[in-house]
Amino acid sequence: MALSRRSTWGGALVLLLIAPFVLPTPWLLVLQNALVLGLFAVATNLLVGWSGLVSFGQAAFYGLGAYTVALAWLHGLAPFWLAFCAAPLIAALVAGLTGAIALRARKLYFALLTLAFSELFYVLAEQLYDITNGANGIFGAMVPDILIVPRNGFYFTLAIVAAALFVLHRIFHSPFGLALRAIRERRVRAEALGLDVARHELAAFALSGAFCGLAGALYVVHDQTAYPELLDWVKSGEPVIVAVIGGISTFAGPLVGALFYQIAHDALVTLTRDWQLVLGALLLLVVLFRPAGLASLLERKER
Amino acid sequence: MNFASTAIEILSALTAAANLFIIAAGLSLVFGALRIINLAHGSFYMIGALVMASLLGPGQASHLFWPALILSPLLMAALGAVLERLLFRRIYQAEHLIQLLLSYALSLMLADLALRIWGADSRTVPPPSWLAGALSVGGATFPLYDLFVIALAAGVGLGLWALLRRTRFGWEIRAAVEDPESLALCGRNVPALFTAVFALGAFLAGLGGAAAAPLQAIGPGMDSAILVSAFIVTVIGGLGSIAGAALGAAVIGLFQAVGTLWLPTWAPAFIFLAMIVVLVIRPSGLLGAAAQGWGGEG
Amino acid sequence: MTARKATQRGKNLNGLGMGLLALLTGMGALGAGGVAQADEITVGQSTSLSGSIAQLGLTGRRGLEMALEKINAEGGLLGQKVRLVVADDGMTPANGTTNARQMILSDHIKALFGPVSSAVGAAEETLAAQYHVPYFLFTANDVRMTTQVFTPYAFQVVPNTVMEPRAAARYLAELVGKKPITLAIITPNYSFGRDSADSFVAALKADGVDVKVLTQQFPKLGETDYTPFIPPLVSAHADYTFVGQYGGDLVTFTKQALGFGLFKATTVVGQYGRQVLTALPGQVPAGTIGFDRAPFWAMEGEGIKRFNEDYHQRFNEWPSAWAILGYTAAETWAAGVKKAGSFDGDKVAAALSGATVQTMRGPITLRACDHQGNVAEYVGRISAEVDPRYGQQTYTDVKAIPGEETMLTCEEAEKLQPHH
């Protein structure tokens, strides 16, 4: 079993490694974008799927990661590589602080609190004009020239996403990951068994924030911009939708959802003006008939 | 700053609050009775405004204003009833995340369909001719139509109060909120009641949109813009509480007006800070009763 | 963890691998399609075709299309027909760059024509330069695009955010002389709005006007409700109120401001062009100071007259400034291609730098130092009557303020550019 699992991951990695030689550049960039979204979705699913904490505010940390890189460049605070490494740490720190407040509420009220934080950060990014350029966003040569070559940018993104997913996968199977799932299933019992539920949830929130921040920093490698809409509730909804489309109950589900969503989106945009309609219909069908996600569909077919 | 201009400030804040109240009341009502957060609520608002513009026709005939103001929300109520029967009914028992995503999917589709039907241009709708003028108070002027919107919101508030407290329908809604099962045992048709509540919610969103049409430019994007504001209002006031929606709308309206005047940069941030503070200190909002199911131990 | 669950996950992962393989194959096949015909080249425009400023994008596209059709009707450029691909940016920079990247990489566009919003424009300019694609700005007019984010591939054939408010300020300065005035300001909250407001005040001071700013409001671009912002403007009772909103936003603002009596309390200075004046037939109070980047009814010359007639015949509607500027942007690129004898981005950009090109509105010189065209801005006072020929109010006492009088000096521009 372990061998088969490993070989599937390996096979996927090999396919991605040869992608730059097979795919035309525009689609390579789409795939790069999909990888970033995949990391964002798995990091969000650490809360939504693993821990049962439905957050509608992960874009706050995603955007923070992007703004860390962009602001460091704009104000000449730090070179790109340093800012890139700092992005997940800063995101984790802010996630820890907001999580400490948001986790005081449960369920819907937790979701609403995370949404409020997301919108708060969004408004700040838009209003603090002198620091952030306001609604304009930040744009320019903030990424080293070497990463602007599409193939290099892709490999860099692939390496970071693969490493991050490896770490996340280890966390998923660690005692900590199991504890999160235990809390999700039976909170009261987990508490009675002596698990420090609050501390586990806070740690999960900070960890998720760190990886969302990393995804945001990778977004800058792709687009070389940061702008307020990276932090708003619509952006926060994206990884949740993607995770649901793929399936929130498994580790790889959100990744499948992200690849599917990004590629379907980019293909649809070129084919039809009505991609929102198609996307909405797709989401509707998944929600009504496949609440376990598309990943469960692939499973069926194999049988 | 003299008395007249302060009065104008307050009146214009009240206009924004009045319109927000009409929409937020619908959102809150649906949540209270059905325990559904309807992210497509903003779509009913936007389409209500667009239908209003279409009903007046290209000549923007202002004598059609009153029929359109009634017909447009009724059409939204019909749309809401159909969607509740076809879609929402299937997921009342599902996880909350699934409910949210269903209504989000719906809002995406409705936004696209609206774009298809009405196009991307923003439109304007004139108020009826006798409300087109302005009121002069001590040298300051205030649009008459804005006064009408304030009056309309007051009427909606009173109407909802009477409906919920003085009619059988209202009694059933309140009973459904507290205990749907025993209501069904009493021989009441709970599914039909839910459809009616959902339609009423859509009616209020549509009415808010139709009434707002002469106040602003209408077009794509107004659905998501109002959704966030309506959310803040209902959360601050208390999800499920109509009086809370009124209080929340007044707080946010005044906040916006005062903030714009004194601290324009920070005003939008303060609104979300207020929402955070309320959620942390009093999750059920200023006037809400604690919501079952969503907030409790699960 | 039960054995059954582990098995499920394994299968799930197989699914991931297979799905990825299928996607890669599919994407390879998709990418191979969509190749342009041999005797045809493509240019692109990513602009706002939806939202409150959609009319600017839509009529700009019309101008662009008319110019390209004329070029094709005359046998094309260097023997090639020109095809235009267009995409909507929905006013957000991310969509703009996605569109532009898609056009550059899959459609192999030879030139990119700019958007409505400067925020989108600046993001696209960086991208266009990375791929050496000439970039023409004719609606978005942020001065940063010729200064802070200047690239050798970008050309601006519209009065920028220094020139336009300086022109309005020049007009106002001539009106008030040296007497002290008070000013209120409302502009959208992004660099276009902020820069316009700053330039307007600075230019008034430079022209010797003693100006005092009483209040400044910054609602967001595309704001649908200005009612919280208007009462502070009314109660300020400033002599003049500079309004930086444009397009549908200005229509909304004007309607709401009329209700609150703003126009009685102050003289508004704003961008009252074709679209805004027709959306508010006869409603803008006479004497309001309007400025416009290319008012069809005020511009002189045979070329523009012919264009007006053609446009009117085709669309049963008179051209907006955006249509006129879109047309001249396409003419500018075509002149560059002819001069370079090539579609190569580097050669076209080099050919246009410092060149004077002939357009239907007359010659435009694109300075070598910042690639800003020396185009005029038109300022006047809104007339009391609707002009029956055009179905809109026009300006009385309209003045064309030449670009040379309002541009930054090359020295000032170069100081702001990168690597200086």
Domains of chain C: 40-159+300-375 (3.40.50.2300), 163-292+377-406 (3.40.50.2300)
Selection from B229, B227, B247 nearest residue B237 by Cα: B247
The pLDDT tens digits for B134-170 are 888 777 778 899 999 999 999 999 999 999 889 988 8
Residue type (1 letter), B108: L
Q: Mean of the pLDDT values across residues C134-144?
A: 92
pLDDT for residue C46 is more than 80: yes
Selection from B196, B192, B213, B207 nearest residue B78 by Cα: B196
Nearest CA in chain B to A103: B280
The pLDDT tens digits for A132-142 are 888 778 887 78
Characterize C223-257 residue by residue with b for buried, 16 or more Cβ atoms within 10 angstroms of its Cβ, and e for exposed. Answer: bbbbbbbbbbbbbbebbbbbbbbbbbbbbbbbbbb
Among residues of chain C, what percentage have pLDDT more than 70?
90
pLDDT bracket for residue C6 (50, 70, 90)? very low
Chains with ≥3 CB–CB distances under 8 Å to C? A, B
Q: Quote the minimal CA–CA distance from A123 to chain B in Å.
A: 6
Query: What is the three-class DSSP state of C260?
Result: coil
Within 8 A of C249 by CB-CB distance, chain B residues are 217
The pLDDT tens digits for C338-388 are 999 999 999 999 999 999 999 999 999 999 999 999 999 999 999 999 999
Give the pLDDT score at B6: 77
> Does the distance separating the beta carbons of A8 and C14 come in below 8 Å?
yes
Give the pLDDT score at C380: 96
* Best B117, B255, B276, B282 residue to mutate vs chain A (most A CBs within 10 Å): B276
Output the 3-class SS for A252-277.
Answer: CHHHHHHHHHHHHHHHHHHHCCCHHH
Selection from C342, C334, C295 nearest residue C66 by Cα: C334
DSSP string, C349-413: HHHHTT-EEEETTEEEEB-TTT-BB---EEEEEEEEEEETTTTEEEEEEEEEE-HHHHSPPHHHH
Nearest CA in chain B to C249: B217
* Best C221, C224, C262, C276 residue to mutate vs chain B (most B CBs within 10 Å): C224
- The larger pLDDT score, comparing residue C50 to residue C1, is at C50
Give the pLDDT score at B208: 96
Within 8 A of B221 by CB-CB distance, chain C residues are 51, 222
Q: Which of residues 11-40 of B touch A (CB under 8 A)?
A: 37
Q: Quote the minimal CA–CA distance from C54 to chain B in Å.
A: 6
- Mean per-residue pLDDT over chain B, rounded: 85
Query: Does residue B222 sit at the C interface (CB-CB below 8 Å)?
Result: yes
| Beta strand pairing call for C135-137 and C112-113 | parallel
pLDDT for residue C10 is more than 50: no
Give the pLDDT score at A297: 63
Backbone angles phi, psi at A176, to 5 degrees: -60, -45
Query: Does residue C100 sit at the A interface (CB-CB below 8 Å)?
Result: no
Question: Using CA atoms, how far apart are residues A108 and B143, in angstroms rounded to an integer?
Answer: 40
Give the pLDDT score at B185: 67
Give the pLDDT score at C349: 96
Question: Using CA atoms, how far apart are residues A204 and B143, in angstroms rounded to an integer?
Answer: 53
> Does the distance separating the beta carbons of A119 and B104 come in below 8 Å?
no
- Does residue C113 contact residue C45 with C-beta atoms inside 8 Å? yes
Selection from C198, C297, C196, C284 nearest residue C245 by Cα: C196
pLDDT for residue C223 is more than 80: no
pLDDT bracket for residue C229 (50, 70, 90)? confident
Residue C268 exposed, middle or buried by CB count within 10 Å (0-12, 13-18, 19+): buried
Q: Which two tokens stand for residue A203?
A: 């740690």
The pLDDT tens digits for C153-164 are 999 999 999 999
Per-domain residue ranges of chain B: 3-220
Total Cβ atoms within 10 A of residue B230: 28
pLDDT for residue C255 is more than 90: no
Instruction: State the helix-helix crossing angle for B168-178 and B144-166, rounded to 10 degrees.
Output: 70
Within 8 A of A250 by CB-CB distance, chain C residues are 8-9, 12
> Does the distance separating the beta carbons of B140 and C228 come in below 8 Å?
no
The pLDDT tens digits for A214-268 are 999 999 998 888 989 899 888 999 999 999 889 888 899 999 999 988 888 877 7
Which residue positions in chain A have pLDDT lower than 50? 1-3, 300-303
Give the pLDDT score at B180: 66
Q: Is C316 left (phi over 0), alpha (psi -120 to 50) or beta?
A: left
- The larger pLDDT score, comparing residue B219 to residue C283, is at C283
Query: Does residue A126 sit at the C interface (CB-CB below 8 Å)?
Result: yes
pLDDT for residue C31 is more than 70: no
The pLDDT tens digits for B217-230 are 788 888 888 998 89
Per-domain residue ranges of chain A: 2-230
Within 8 A of C49 by CB-CB distance, chain B residues are 120
Q: Which of residues 22-51 of C touch A (CB under 8 A)?
A: 23-24, 27-28, 30-32
Backbone angles phi, psi at C44, to 5 degrees: -125, 155
pTM: 0.84
Query: What is the three-class DSSP state of B143?
Result: strand
The pLDDT tens digits for C302-339 are 999 999 999 999 999 899 999 999 999 999 999 999 99
Selection from A238, A141, A184, A213 nearest residue A47 by Cα: A184
Nearest CA in chain B to A185: B298
Query: Does residue A275 sit at the C interface (CB-CB below 8 Å)?
Result: no
pLDDT for residue B270 is more than 80: yes
Question: Using CA atoms, how far apart are residues C310 and A194, in angstroms rounded to an integer?
Answer: 81
Chains with ≥3 CB–CB distances under 8 Å to B? A, C
Selection from A83, A148, A136, A20 nearest residue C127 by Cα: A148
Give the pLDDT score at C35: 46
Question: Using CA atoms, how far apart are residues C344 and C357, in angstroms rounded to an integer?
Answer: 18
Question: Using CA atoms, how far apart are residues A53 and C55, in angstroms rounded to an integer?
Answer: 44
Question: Using CA atoms, how far apart are residues C298 and C322, in angstroms rounded to an integer?
Answer: 15
Q: Mean of the pLDDT values across residues C183-195?
A: 88
**B251 to each of B6, B229, B258, how far by Cα in Å?**
17, 12, 11
Nearest to B279 among A109, A248, A279 (CB): A109
Query: Does residue B272 sit at the A interface (CB-CB below 8 Å)?
Result: yes
Give the pLDDT score at B196: 93
pLDDT for residue B107 is more than 90: yes
Among residues of chain B, what percentage have pLDDT more than 90?
37
Within 8 A of C32 by CB-CB distance, chain A residues are 24
